[in-house]
Structure 1
Amino acid sequence: METKSTYSRVARAKAQEKRQLRYSIRKVSTIGATSALIGAVSFLGGGLVSADTTQTSDVAPSAQVTEVNTSDATSVESSTEAIAQSEEDTVATDSASVEDNTSEVNADSSSEIQENATEVTNDVSTPEETADTATTAISSADVSNETAAPQVTDNKDYSSFSTTNYVADTGLTELANELAKDAGINVAELTSEQVAALNKLYVKEAETGSQMTYKDFANIADTLISQDPQYAIPYFKASVIENMNAATTKDAQTGEVADLDVWDSWPVQDIDTGYVSNWNGYQLVVAMMGVPNTNDNHLYLLYNNYGDNELQNWKNAGSIFGYDLDTVTQQWSGSAIVNSDGTVQLFYTNVDTSDDNSNNQMLASATLNLAIEDGKVVLKSVENQKVLTPTGGDGYYYQSYAQWRSTFTGADNIAMRDPHVVQDEDGVRYLVFEASTGTQNYQDENQIYNVKNYGGDAKFILSSLFDIIDNEDMYTRATFSNAAIGIVQLGGDEKTPTIEKYMTPLVSSTMVSDEIERPDVVKLGDKYYLFAASRLNHGSNNYAWQEANKVVGDNVVMLGWVSDSLTEGYKPLNDSSVVLTASVPADWRTATYSYYAVPFEGSDDTLLITSYMTNRNSVAGVGNNSTWGPSFLIQILPDGTTRVLDKMTNQGDWIWDESSETDYTKGNRETAHLPGEDDGIVEGNPGGYNLVPHTPVTPETPETPETPETPETPETPETPETPTTPEKPTTPGNDVPITPTSRTRVPNGGKGKTDSPSLPSTGETSDSAVVALGFAIMATMTSYVAYSGYKRKKS
């Protein structure tokens, strides 16, 4: 949609700078002329003039200038009445004083003109210009959330406006018209496609837990791009990163020893505390591993002495489900706990790829019988291996495999995976997992028109809507996006769990994202914290994640929510749910993903964050396999915010204690990549990340300059101080007082005489006085004429 005379941010800043400069020149000229005139009168008339009285408030109206801010002069409205009111409130540029009859606006809007308004003059807008500004519609490319006029707060309740009744002369429903008015859109300039889209809008609260909105997604991307150190993942030193010795092992599919990639991993945890379990003096971790660049995804059991921080001390007990496994059935991420008899209960994702490699995902469980033999942890047998959700989702709360397959076009991501076991205060166990919403709040193109999916104010909602309908790929993504974090209650016993009931998702992102994975629930104090990992390129806002790829080189994040209840009521941490953001490109050796938060003894507000180096399929070079990354700490503050702490461990440290912290793996921007990685070149499509050539910005958030954007008004020139009266000579007639440089009149007992030399006689004017008077009058007239000419030129 085209707009009239679009006023760019750069042009706006330049215009504002010119206005302030011209104003400063006018004001200095006026002050100078005023001072000269007063000085001449004082000099010639001998009147009592104090330096303190030389102020603009005493200047004649014709010489006084009042600064006019164009943002305050006219409030841009979309209704005819508002435009008429603006005309009445417009003040002539040559008036003695300016009345500000408009509503007060905030400090940000006072220095900025509406993004798509027509250019406003340097003083006060004329009624015609005001009308042009009010009738400018939002561009479909405008995805920013800058202040609109009139200002409307985020998340205004539009549920009371009809979607069937139309507003006369607009062609819009009451809901569409209200949104258009709040967004400052000129309805007459809307295209037929935009009108049709607006009239499809409706308001419906999500029935699937906390909704991640389109605005949340945009804010998450903005946080990633800004590289705020509060959230940015710390730099690791690339030169010290090692492949795991334990990853060189017998492959589950081929039976041959190979160097395997290590991906999603999780510790065997205590069900009550969430701490890493001390299993007979060992710490245990389950890891998904496989041969690089092959369809090889299976689970292995790794172990180390409890509390050992050394990466290369980890050992591999082998493939959990044996060897000679085929590529059709695979095992993906999950969780594990210690049963009361010392066995390990594993929850994982069973994946059937037999249907044209379509990844039919099902939650599953198995019991691992372990033993210690000759100082080694040995996997003796696996029992109770069972798929818990054979149809995938149940269909209502969570999308089933059959539902997904019936509409699959290649753009839709399916999810029923990554089960995380957690127990409430009553001992009831649940699985929290990644899923897709079912018919309770299903995916389809109608979700694009649900106002509640957007968040933000009217301008953000409509500009985002226009972006989506104008971009075929974004429209398709928005249609199929329905990622959710689900929850089911478990029944049965600890070794043979069953699904007791499906429950409403904890979080959903219909229309916004199609992948929020690896959920992890941690209880700290009396609150539950829910974390998950995501790649923004699985979202529908292409502009957001493509900008992240361009600026940073990756789009991975960790998200988080908090609730007083395990099963409902989750609110986003840090307002948007962002907790961690990528800080290096995806093809660097130190890029990470699959973040997993682990609580530890001695702290109720700090978590250890583990991850793997995302060099899957050799994106950082052949031989640089995926491996465990160094762990680090985040702190959760009482106000629902989080921050990354300057605390780091060796690679593969799952337990934070007094021996964990090290500087060995700490890096910086220069040391976080291997030689040749920072050349700004991304060849091909490494890892499927769709990266573009990039030169990442230095991840330091610039400080906000203290200098105001608008130049300060020059201060009134200081009037020279009044010299002190010379002391009387001790011997009258012998010492001559020094004549003061400024002839200041000094009273003497109220007798009308002075003790200092008097001013020149007023009976006759000397030649020098005439010259001074002429000069002062000429200066005054010149300044006034120059100013009046300037005003005529601009009017």
Structure 2
Amino acid sequence: MIKGEKTSQKLRYSIRKVSTIGATSAIIGTVAFLGATTTQADEVGVASESTTSATLVTEAEPAVTTEAPQVVETTAVSETPEVVSETTTTASEVPETVSETTAVSEATTAVDTPVTSETTNDSEATSPEVTSASQPSTTVEDKDYSSYSATTIVKETGLTELADALVREAGIDPTTLSAERKEELNKLYVKSTETGTQMTYGDFQSIADTLLEQNEQYAIPYFKASEIKNMAAATTRDAQTGEVADLDVWDSWPVQDIKTGEVVNWNGYQLVVAMMGVPNTNDNHLYLLYNTYADNDLQHWQNAGSIFGYGLDAVTQQWSGSAVVNQDGTIQLYYTNVDTSDNNSNNQMLATATLNLAVENNKVVIKSVDNKNILTPTGGDGYYYQSYAQWRSTFTGADNIAMRDPHVIEDEDGSRYLVFEASTGTQNYQDASQIYNVKNYGRDAKFILSSFFDILDNEDMYIRASVSNAAIGILRLGGTEKAPTIQEFFTPLLSSPMVSDEIERPNVVKLGNKYYLFAASRLNHGSNDYAWQEANKVVGDNVVMLGYVSDSLTGTYEPLNGSGAVLTASVPSDWRTATYSYYAVPVKGSDDLLLITAYMTNRNEVAGKGNNSTWAPSFLIQIMPDGTTKVLAKMTNQGDWIWDESSETQATIGNKETSHLPGEDDGIIEGNPGGYDLKPHTPKAPDKPTEPDTPVVPEQPSTPVTPDTPNTPSVPETPTYSHIEKLHGVPTQTASILPQTGEKDSKINFLGMAMLTSLVVFFTPYKRKRKH
């Protein structure tokens, strides 16, 4: 619908010299003025509202298609000339060039955001409580276009009813469309999918806009770069070479309770499984790390070694997963088995194994690994989730495949499930036809068509949109806890056809009576190049953590914060304090707090030689009753997986100036793989939510003293008006000239004062300032 624009006119009154005849009129006008109780002598604002809406045919598949053009044409004529002229100008530009389309699109609010975000952050710094529970301003309600026919042609325009409705609602003049554009528009259709909650193109744009806003509610807090250390436990024997080396450590997860998700106290220890490997090497294997339970000192962690032994190679790798304690005290590990033997491709399979551990001489040791079992040897099942064979048959080099990162959880009925990253199968498969499904876009007609034209006009975006099909899947486990099997696949909990090709590391946490689904993602694996490229330009990174909520584990999940954005990047990816692979851990005894863990420095020494990937300080987020979240100013030491009274520290809290090492802020870093055009940004540091010292500055009462122009001493300062001073506190120039409404003087005093005023106006040159 085209909304009318509110217009307001301001009528200004100016006082000039008047002629002798005009003086009499001024006296009469003054008396009339005294009777008005609300009119201001300065200016009067009059608002006139014009609301115009376009009414379109909403009947599904009308039998007589010739009636449709009549209704649309009549509606178009009823629009105000101002609206038509503006939308027509925009519309004529939309189909022609990508750059102009982007400028018109709602998607491009991201471009302007950095300009205003600094101001926003400054104001938010003084009143964080105002914005703490607000939803992103970019969240827009989706409109349903399923009632329009995608086959019936409107004769007047040569467009289908669906395309015709979209074009007119977007404010596009159909006569400006080329034959090629009309042909593409007539391919549009509306198809609802069965693949759970869908991330639309509009959601993706909102997530990117949230990142650009750098709102402290979502921005990952600043960490103090000088305090960040490599893990001592990461200097260990490498699984491939068997030699001691300084390893990167990245995706990590604790051994958790299968129901609550809390970190398990295993014989007085906390256990964490981590992906580790030699920097700049194809070295991806799992290690077991341990520490005294609730010890939050990074350097107290120790390494029990490579879980699957030594002498491993790069052909078979082990990637992310989860782990829980079995009833007999053994650890059940779920992980990703990756076979790269097929021309270095990544054939990913969900797998499991049982770890037999022991404590010997105050050290945790791996005694054996039993029950190694690949749960999904073909990758996906093909229908719900893309199989390796399906992917391989169409792979052209631009398509990601995913069947990884299994997260195990048990529901209230005792059933065990795996939530994992996947790609959609034939139920809603990847294809160029997804570009024409209006359902994939979300928002309104203007956004849909602007985005549609962007994709058509950009070859890279077209290819990305054709292969994007990231999903968060779920399956029910059968068998026993040590020998699990797949009992049943379900429709994905989340899918993103045409929008994103990678949403990874899912984990589900139950808080109270609700289930919360979280996942990490890099926006540069999405099809909207303009969105993630702007993030790279402004912030220097495009990583996010997404979040969704449901009343049941397998139920419908709704995005938190309107779009799903929970955490957004706040520093460039090659800074020492850049983070990724966010993993939410519940806080014992709390129904609304989560500890966010991650690794920092984006691997392979991008922050400089010797600055290996390491565990980041953890921090808290709070989930509000209205489905919003906020980052709290609560930070831990590096590698703290359990929040308790000893967790909070000030040592790792940074700000804009301290969150990078010397030289990192100049945009030139040796080995920078992204080639980002690094620019300064101003996310609000979480350690400064209570700095209300700025609002005190604007109090500048010095200006009211300025108008002390006693150039009218001829006016007798009668004590009659002293009560005005008492009423208003500070005497003003107008108070000594014009009587104010509400005074109790007699009519004679009023008339005398009016005459006196008129004479003053007549004989004294006076020019009123106009407001602009």
**TM-score over 0.5 for the pair:** yes
TM-aligned CA deviation for residue 75 of structure 1: 7.3
The equivalent of 2:461 in structure 1 is 474
Structure 2, unpaired ranges of 5+: 57-71, 110-139, 699-711, 721-735, 740-745
Is residue 41 of structure 2 the alignment partner of residue 52 of structure 1?
no
Q: Scaled by the length of structure 1, what TM-score is found? A: 0.77
Secondary structure at the counterpart of residue 665 of structure 2: coil
Question: CA-to-partner distance for each residue in 1:537-561, whole Å, 9 max, x for gaps?
Answer: 0000000000000000000000000
The equivalent of 2:708 in structure 1 is none
Do the aligned partners of residues 36 and 661 (structure 1) sit closer, same or farther apart at CA in structure 2, a change above 3 Å counting? Answer: farther
Is residue 606 of structure 2 the alignment partner of residue 619 of structure 1?
yes
Q: Is the 8 A contact 2:107 2:205 kept in 1?
A: no
User: Which AA in structure 1 matches 2:342?
Assistant: D
Q: 1:672 aligns with which of 636, 659, 662?
A: 659
The equivalent of 2:676 in structure 1 is 692
Do the aligned partners of residues 721 and 358 (structure 1) sit closer, same or farther apart at CA in structure 2, a change above 3 Å counting? Answer: farther
Is residue 553 of structure 2 the alignment partner of residue 561 of structure 1?
no
Residues in 2 aligned to 1:296 and 1:76: alpha-carbon distance in whole angstroms: 60
The equivalent of 1:433 in structure 2 is 420
Number of equivalent positions:
672
Q: Which structure has the greater CA radius of gyration?
A: 1
User: Which AA in structure 2 matches 1:49?
Assistant: V
Do the aligned partners of residues 742 and 227 (structure 1) sit closer, same or farther apart at CA in structure 2, a change above 3 Å counting? Answer: closer
Do the aligned partners of residues 401 and 684 (structure 1) sit closer, same or farther apart at CA in structure 2, a change above 3 Å counting? Answer: same
Structural mapping, 1:209-228, within 5 Å? 209-228=196-215
Do the aligned partners of residues 490 and 722 (structure 1) sit closer, same or farther apart at CA in structure 2, a change above 3 Å counting? Answer: farther
Structural mapping, 1:247-326, within 5 Å? 247-326=234-313
Is residue 569 of structure 2 the alignment partner of residue 582 of structure 1?
yes
Secondary structure at the counterpart of residue 518 of structure 2: strand
TM-aligned CA deviation for residue 693 of structure 1: 1.8
Do the aligned partners of residues 194 and 48 (structure 1) sit closer, same or farther apart at CA in structure 2, a change above 3 Å counting? Answer: closer
Residues in 2 aligned to 1:224 and 1:57: alpha-carbon distance in whole angstroms: 46
Residues in 2 aligned to 1:321 and 1:482: alpha-carbon distance in whole angstroms: 32
Secondary structure at the counterpart of residue 679 of structure 2: coil
Is residue 390 of structure 2 the alignment partner of residue 397 of structure 1?
no
Is residue 497 of structure 2 the alignment partner of residue 510 of structure 1?
yes
Residues in 2 aligned to 1:571 and 1:694: alpha-carbon distance in whole angstroms: 34
Q: Is the 8 A contact 1:487 1:504 kept in 2?
A: yes
Question: CA-to-partner distance for each residue in 1:132-161, whole Å, 9 max, x for gaps?
Answer: 7887756533332699xxxxx842221111
Structural mapping, 1:537-576, within 5 Å? 537-576=524-563
Residues in 1 aligned to 2:339 and 2:368: alpha-carbon distance in whole angstroms: 23
Question: CA-to-partner distance for each residue in 1:700-745, whole Å, 9 max, x for gaps?
Answer: 49999x9xxxxxxxxxxxx99998799xxxxxxxxxxxxxx9999x
Secondary structure at the counterpart of residue 616 of structure 1: coil
TM-aligned CA deviation for residue 191 of structure 1: 2.5
Q: 1:372 aligns with which of 359, 365, 372?
A: 359
Do the aligned partners of residues 524 and 73 (structure 1) sit closer, same or farther apart at CA in structure 2, a change above 3 Å counting? Answer: closer
TM-aligned CA deviation for residue 449 of structure 1: 0.7
Q: 1:143 aligns with which of 105, 119, 128?
A: 105
Question: CA-to-partner distance for each residue in 1:150-205, whole Å, 9 max, x for gaps?
Answer: xxx84222111111110012110000001111111111111233212211111111
User: Which AA in structure 2 matches 1:385?
Assistant: K
Residues in 2 aligned to 1:439 and 1:346: alpha-carbon distance in whole angstroms: 30
User: Which AA in structure 2 matches 1:143?
Assistant: S
Q: Is the 8 A contact 1:145 1:459 kept in 2?
A: no
Q: Is the 8 A contact 2:251 2:599 kept in 1?
A: yes
Structural mapping, 1:623-662, within 5 Å? 623-662=610-649
Secondary structure at the counterpart of residue 579 of structure 1: strand
Further displaced range: 78-87 or 523-532: 78-87
Residues in 1 aligned to 2:210 and 2:532: alpha-carbon distance in whole angstroms: 11
Q: Is the 8 A contact 1:430 1:487 kept in 2?
A: yes
Question: CA-to-partner distance for each residue in 1:564-615, whole Å, 9 max, x for gaps?
Answer: 0101211100010000001100000000000000012121110110000133
Q: Is the 8 A contact 2:88 2:171 kept in 1?
A: no
Amino-acid identity (%): 67
Residues in 2 aligned to 1:476 and 1:158: alpha-carbon distance in whole angstroms: 25
Secondary structure at the counterpart of residue 414 of structure 2: coil
Residues in 1 aligned to 2:583 and 2:463: alpha-carbon distance in whole angstroms: 31
The equivalent of 2:74 in structure 1 is 81
Residues in 2 aligned to 1:743 and 1:650: alpha-carbon distance in whole angstroms: 67
Question: CA-to-partner distance for each residue in 1:285-324, whole Å, 9 max, x for gaps?
Answer: 0001000111100000011100111101111001000000
Q: Is the 8 A contact 2:94 2:450 kept in 1?
A: no
How well do the aligned residues superpose, as a CA RMSD in angstroms?
Answer: 4.1
User: Which AA in structure 2 matches 1:81?
Assistant: T
The equivalent of 2:477 in structure 1 is 490
Question: CA-to-partner distance for each residue in 1:82-124, whole Å, 9 max, x for gaps?
Answer: 454457xx8xxxxxxxxxxxxxxxxxxxxxx87x955xxxxxx
TM-aligned CA deviation for residue 494 of structure 1: 0.3
Question: CA-to-partner distance for each residue in 1:471-503, whole Å, 9 max, x for gaps?
Answer: 000000000000000001000000000000111
Further displaced range: 138-147 or 690-699: 138-147
Q: 1:335 aligns with which of 322, 333, 336?
A: 322
- With a CA cutoff of 8 Å and minimum separation of 6, indicate the structure with the bigger relative contact order: 2
Structure 1, unpaired ranges of 5+: 1-11, 91-112, 119-129, 148-152, 707-718, 727-740, 761-768, 784-795
Is residue 19 of structure 2 the alignment partner of residue 32 of structure 1?
no
Residues in 2 aligned to 1:189 and 1:662: alpha-carbon distance in whole angstroms: 62
Secondary structure at the counterpart of residue 604 of structure 2: helix
Structural mapping, 1:62-81, within 5 Å? 72=50, 80-81=73-74
TM-aligned CA deviation for residue 428 of structure 1: 0.4
Q: Is the 8 A contact 1:585 1:696 kept in 2?
A: no
Q: Is the 8 A contact 2:507 2:517 kept in 1?
A: yes
Structural mapping, 1:109-120, within 5 Å? 118=86
Residues in 1 aligned to 2:487 and 2:715: alpha-carbon distance in whole angstroms: 89
User: Which AA in structure 2 matches 1:303?
Assistant: Y
Residues in 1 aligned to 2:753 and 2:267: alpha-carbon distance in whole angstroms: 105
Do the aligned partners of residues 75 and 758 (structure 1) sit closer, same or farther apart at CA in structure 2, a change above 3 Å counting? Answer: closer
Residues in 2 aligned to 1:244 and 1:758: alpha-carbon distance in whole angstroms: 84
Do the aligned partners of residues 133 and 286 (structure 1) sit closer, same or farther apart at CA in structure 2, a change above 3 Å counting? Answer: closer
Q: Scaled by the length of structure 2, what TM-score is found? A: 0.79
Residues in 1 aligned to 2:654 and 2:751: alpha-carbon distance in whole angstroms: 79
The equivalent of 1:161 in structure 2 is 148
Is residue 34 of structure 2 the alignment partner of residue 41 of structure 1?
no
